[in-house]
Structure 1
Amino acid sequence: MKYILVTGGVISGVGKGVISSSFGAILKCCGIEVTMIKIDPYINLDAGTFSPYEHGEVYVLDDGGEVDLDLGNYERFLNITLHKDNNITTGKIYLSVIEKERRGDYLGKTVQVVPHITDAIQEWVEKEAQKPVSENGKTPEVCIIELGGIVGDIESMAFVEAFRQFQFRVKRENFCVAHVSLVPQPKTTGESKTKPTQSSVRELRGLGLSPDIIVCRSERPIEDGVKEKISNFCHVAPQQIISVPDLPSVYEVPVFIENHGMADFLSERLNLGITPLPPRRKYMMQWIELGDKIRHLKYEIVVAIVGKYTRLEDSYTSVTKALHHAGNKIGYKVNITFIEASNLEKSMLADDPASYHNAWRELCLCHCVVVPGGFGKRGVEGKIEAVRWCRENDKPFLGICLGFQAAVIEFSRNVLKLEDAHSTEVNEDTKNPVVIDMPEHTTGNMGGTMRLGKRTTVFKQSNCKIKKLYGNRDRIEERHRHRYEVNPAYIDKLEKSGLKFVGIDEHQERMEILELDNHPYFVAVQFHPEYMSRPVSPSPPFLGLILAARDRLKSYIARGCKLSPREPQSDYYDTDEDLEDDTLKKLTIENDTDSSAYSSSSLS
């Protein structure tokens, strides 16, 4: 087994996750089986109880693991399926050691950080590195390990020491270190500053790890003279220093890094035997084509995400990625407008009328709307208002998790005329609890007690848009993360009034998918389809949303869910002046909020 350790310096959120994923993508293109491990030095057992404002979204795996969003990057880039133990935290390591101590496994010895904690880390890595993550079931040949935070953090000291020992345990020819560091470029001087990188590498070397590769993240490419300066002070050859500036898309990073000969270097450094390499254009073709397509997207579409955590775009990373995947597929650049759900509530009209009117203006100017998941009372009424507006104005709409529940509440209030209809999560005393908690998932604890992971959904109806988008399959598997469900007592009333529950769980107990017939696209799902969206294989609910927003869904379904060979479609709009709605002519997008843009803020 070969190991690549990716560390960070200067600041966190500099892009270690995408760099790690890009290493894996390059090796996989060369025919090497790769697995990934993310180490988070916090004491939490997992990411399940985090607010999205802490570390961004909580990503959910097939086995129900609630993990760091970087594992989403790994799965999207490498098209692999990871496990909850591919995310290591300080809490998991200490818990495993304490459990051993309680069983008496240490035979009365004093349990210490060295060797017991460091040994536990090494054993965990070796064990997880052997688990297959691809459909072919093969054992991985290379394990890429991303160490969260930056070198010097007190929380990560035990992990750094563990890998200092680990390099001798597995031998140097099987262990490689890549250090990702920020190279600031102050606008006042315009020159690249190398001191921060020198300091972080010096600290890393002082802890017993010497980098084989230094990846310099910066706004603009750094000059050869800067590389030579870093080389002189960091004991790394200039050709092993890679400058990765901000790029239009994260999916251009693998090709950009490979243009520096990364496959050749890793093959030689780790004796991978990738020789002779085919012409780079051939084995990296899928990434070259994807990057070219994204660069040359000529047409645009505006999607509103009505959420509760809009101050941090990473809170909805998988949703924004899934939207971009769908847009890229049909030739559209997706521009995302984040709307704070609370600003749509009528109470804001008195408290902050400017925010209220701005939020509604942005909602009215978008082409389609996504109402994603969330927890708690705040902003729920705003989400319900957004759903109502989409239903009444034939605006393409996709609800996810809480968005699914909001659609049920809105329909109950405004169509069934149950004015006090609500979720017991928000109002325990409502007379019409159309959304209730699932008793088996209400244990008193918060972490790991929800309905989590991949589960089966069975289609009840054959003549529905969403089933056709899924290829007319009778059943699908998607990942879940929720504690509340539609109250079975209200299902008949809802369906008789036109809200069709077209998908249910395999036990026929829980509603999974709803759809309205007489609407361009009104679909909501209890699961999280964004977690399984891939760059070249977008999630069907998101693809349907984008197609409906451009009035292409009917023709797409009529062709058997195949895109027209004519790209772009003849009725795509060239510019804002070509948009049919006069109000959209006035729309100007001051800040492109494309979350896939490769910047330090979007690559944590």
Structure 2
Amino acid sequence: MKYILVTGGVISGVGKGVIASSIGTILKSSGIAVTSIKIDPYINIDAGTFSPYEHGEVFVLADGGEVDLDLGNYERFLDITLHRDNNITTGKIYQSVINKERRGDYLGKTVQVVPHITDSIQEWVERVSKRPVDQSQVIPDVCIIELGGTIGDIEGMPFVEAFRQFQFRVKRENFCCVHVSLVPQPKTTGEQKTKPTQASVRELRGLGLSPDLVVCRSNSPLINAVKDKISLFCHVEPDQVFCVHDVTSLYRVPLLLEDQGAKQFFIKRLGLPEPAPSPRKLMIKWKELADRYDRLLKEVTIVLVGKYTQLEDAYASVIKSLQHAALASSHRLDLKCIEAADLEPSMVQEDAQRYHQAWKELVGANGILVPGGFGIRGTEGKILAVQWARTKNVPFLGVCLGLQCAVIEFGRNVLQWSDAHSTEFNPNTEHPVVIEMPEHNPGQMGGTMRLGQRKTLFKSKDSYVRKLYHNKDYVEERHRHRYEVNPAFVSQFEEKGMRFVGRSEDGERMEIMELNGKPGFFFNACNLMWLYIAITSISSFVNLPFTKETTIIHIPI
């Protein structure tokens, strides 16, 4: 097994996840089986209890793991299925060590960060890296490990020490360190500054890890003099200094690294086999994809009515799915994110300009999407957006809370239940059209929602959504929610034209709904919007047919 550790310097959010995924893509194009691990040095057990403003979206894995959004990048770039253990946190490691101590596994010894915590980290990495990555049960050849945060962060120190030891544990020829650093370029001088990178690499080396490759993030390509300077002060050869400058799309990052010799570097450094000719087709397709993205001329405008729009990462999977779907439909996506609360009448008194601007963008959209969320803030704005879409025949897709808002809106304005609501927002309503799921445990916050990949069975053969799924009997989708449509009201909804065409295997959960006579108006109970449903929505938004000939690409969405 070969290991590639990706660390970051200067600032967080410099692009380690995309670069780690891109390295994996390059290796996979050479016929090498790749897996990934993301390390987050926070004490939380997982990402499930984070505020979207704190850490972006919670990415849900097939096994129900609530993990860092970078694992979504890995799955999209590498077309692999990861597991909850592929996301390591300080909380998980300490919990594991404490459980061992309570069982007496350490035979009464004093449990310390070194060696017990660091050993646990190394054992975890070795165990997870050898798990098969797909249904073919292929054991990976290379494991790419991204260490979250920035070198020098106090919470990341045990992990850095663990990998200092790990390089000797697995032998130096099987371990490679890639350091991603920022090279700022102040507008006042226009000069590319190397001092932050020098300081970052110096600190990394002082902790016992010497980078084999320095990847510099910058606004523009590094000039040779800057690369030579980084080489001189960071103890690497000039050809071990790569540049990832700002590009038109993420699709260009693997191509950028490959053009600088990344594939040859890793093959030589880790003693990997020379690539077979056939897998090279992946990079050819990747280039075609990147070129097509840059040539798109048609445009589709979609409004996302959300609650956490100040941070784009809060809706990362939804946005990336829409981008890929638009690309598959040969359209450039013009995505407008508006705060749901800005659509509410109360906003007129607070900020009339924001209110009118929000409605101007909503009414001018080709399609409307209402994603998931928690809490009552902005809910009425989402309901108003649903009402506009339904009454004005605007193509609409509701996901998770978007589905719930659509049910509430329909109950209020079609069934004439003025107090229709979710028990999350109004526990005393006489028409609780959305209720808490029986299995949800309100006394325990982490991992108690309905999580992971589940089957949705189609109950109607004349369903519009089923046709978009090529008339399949069922689809598998990932879930993350704790409220459901109240089964007691289903018959009344269906009498008025809201059809629950997709249900859970036991028939109790309403998963997919559509309105009679409105082929562009449907909902999905799943929190993560998958590629098929995204292409479906885009196809409706731009009035394109969704046929078996539609290209489905299992690389970045």
SS of 2:503 mapped into structure 1: strand
SS of 1:92 mapped into structure 2: helix
- Structure 1 residue aligned with 2:536, among 540, 544, 567? 544
**For residues 158-557 of structure 1, what are the structure 2 equivalents within 5 Å?**
158-274=158-274, 278=277, 282=281, 284-530=283-529, 533=530, 539-552=531-544, 556-557=545-546
Is residue 437–residue 484 contact of structure 1 (8 Å, CA) maintained in 2?
yes
Q: Distance in 2 between matches of 1:448 and 1:230?
A: 45
Q: Supply the AA of the counterpart residue of 2:363.
A: C
SS of 1:250 mapped into structure 2: coil
RMSD (Å), alpha carbons: 1.4
Q: Distance in 1 between matches of 2:5 and 2:542?
A: 45
2:67 is aligned to 67
Q: Supply the AA of the counterpart residue of 1:516.
A: L
Q: Deviations over 1:53-101 (max 9, x none)?
A: 1111000000000000000000000000000000000000000000000
Q: Distance in 2 between matches of 1:446 and 1:426?
A: 18
Q: Distance in 1 between matches of 2:212 and 2:511?
A: 49
- Structure 1 residue aligned with 2:549, among 562, 584, 595? 562
Q: Supply the AA of the counterpart residue of 2:245.
A: P
Q: Distance in 2 between matches of 1:119 and 1:286?
A: 41
Q: Offset at 1:561?
A: 4.1
Q: Distance in 2 between matches of 1:563 and 1:201?
A: 47
Q: Supply the AA of the counterpart residue of 2:460.
A: Q
Is residue 456–residue 506 contact of structure 1 (8 Å, CA) maintained in 2?
yes
1:572 is aligned to none
Is residue 6–residue 177 contact of structure 2 (8 Å, CA) maintained in 1?
yes
Q: Supply the AA of the counterpart residue of 1:151.
A: I
Q: Offset at 1:282?
A: 4.4
Q: Distance in 2 between matches of 1:281 and 1:138?
A: 19
Q: Supply the AA of the counterpart residue of 2:536.
A: G
SS of 1:43 mapped into structure 2: coil
SS of 1:143 mapped into structure 2: strand
SS of 1:439 mapped into structure 2: coil
Q: Distance in 2 between matches of 1:466 and 1:267?
A: 46
Q: Distance in 1 between matches of 2:528 and 2:480?
A: 11
Is residue 456–residue 477 contact of structure 1 (8 Å, CA) maintained in 2?
yes
Q: Offset at 1:563?
A: 4.4
Q: Supply the AA of the counterpart residue of 1:51.
A: S
Is residue 327–residue 334 contact of structure 1 (8 Å, CA) maintained in 2?
yes
Specify whether residues 430 and 50 from structure 1 end up closer, same or farther in structure 2 by C-alpha distance, changes over 3 A only: same
1:579 is aligned to none
Q: Offset at 1:528?
A: 3.0
**Please, which runs of 5 or more residues in structure 2 have no aligned partner?**
none
Specify whether residues 40 and 529 from structure 1 end up closer, same or farther in structure 2 by C-alpha distance, changes over 3 A only: closer
Q: Does 2:108 correspond to 1:108?
A: yes
Q: Deviations over 1:22-67 (max 9, x none)?
A: 0100011110000000000000000000011111100000000000
Is residue 468–residue 561 contact of structure 1 (8 Å, CA) maintained in 2?
no
Specify whether residues 338 and 151 from structure 1 end up closer, same or farther in structure 2 by C-alpha distance, changes over 3 A only: same
SS of 2:260 mapped into structure 1: coil
Q: Offset at 1:279?
A: 10
Is residue 399–residue 523 contact of structure 1 (8 Å, CA) maintained in 2?
yes
Is residue 299–residue 333 contact of structure 1 (8 Å, CA) maintained in 2?
yes
**Please, which runs of 5 or more residues in structure 1 have no aligned partner?**
534-538, 565-595, 598-604
Is residue 400–residue 526 contact of structure 1 (8 Å, CA) maintained in 2?
yes
Is residue 398–residue 541 contact of structure 1 (8 Å, CA) maintained in 2?
no
Report the TM-score when normalising by structure 2.
Answer: 0.97
Report the TM-score when normalising by structure 1.
Answer: 0.90
Q: Distance in 1 between matches of 2:548 and 2:146?
A: 39
Q: Distance in 1 between matches of 2:337 and 2:398?
A: 15
Q: Deviations over 1:87-136 (max 9, x none)?
A: 00000000000000000000000000000000000000000000011232
Q: Is 241-250 or 543-552 further displaced after alignment?
A: 543-552
Q: Supply the AA of the counterpart residue of 1:89.
A: T
SS of 1:456 mapped into structure 2: strand
Q: Is 461-470 or 197-206 further displaced after alignment?
A: 461-470
Q: Distance in 1 between matches of 2:216 and 2:532?
A: 37
Q: Deviations over 1:228-265 (max 9, x none)?
A: 00000000000010011011111111111001111111
Q: Deviations over 1:179-223 (max 9, x none)?
A: 000000011101100000000000000000000000000011110
Q: Offset at 1:291?
A: 0.6
